[in-house]
Chain A
Amino acid sequence: GAVVSQHPSWVICKSGTSVKIECRSLDFQATTMFWYRQFPKQSLMLMATSNEGSKATYEQGVEKDKFLINHASLTLSTLTVTSAHPEDSSFYICSATPGGTNEQFFGPGTRLTVL
Chain B
Amino acid sequence: GQQLNQSPQSMFIQEGEDVSMNCTSSSIFNTWLWYKQDPGEGPVLLIALYKAGELTSNGRLTAQFGITRKDSFLNISASIPSDVGIYFCAGQKTSGSRLTFGEGTQLTVNP
Contacts and interface: CB of A to CB of B under 8 A. Distances in A.
- Please determine whether chains A and B interact with each other in the same assembly: yes
Contacts of B45: 103-106
Contacts of B43: 44, 93, 106
A96 to B, nearest CB: 10
B40 A34 contact: no
A46 B48 contact: no
A46 B99 contact: yes
Given A44-B43, A44-B101, A49-B98, A103 B1 contact: no
Interface residues of A, number: 25
Contact of B42 (A32, A45, A102, A109): A109
A29 B90 CA distance: 23
B33 A103 contact: yes
Q: Interface size bucket, B side?
A: 20 to 34
B1 A60 contact: yes
Nearest to B42: A106
Interface in B40-68: 40-45, 48, 50
A46 B96 contact: no
Nearest to A102: B95
Interface string B1-44: 10100000000000000000000000000010101000011111
B75 interface: no
Contact of B96 (A102, A107, A108): A102
Given A43-B88, A44-B88, A104 B102 contact: no
B83 interface: no
Given A45-B1, A60-B1, A106 B44 contact: yes
A97 B96 contact: yes
A63 interface: no
Nearest to A34: B98
A111 interface: yes
A36 to B, nearest CB: 8
Interface string A37-51: 000001111100100
Interface of B: 1, 3, 31, 33, 35, 40-45, 48, 50, 88, 90, 92, 95-96, 98-99, 101-104
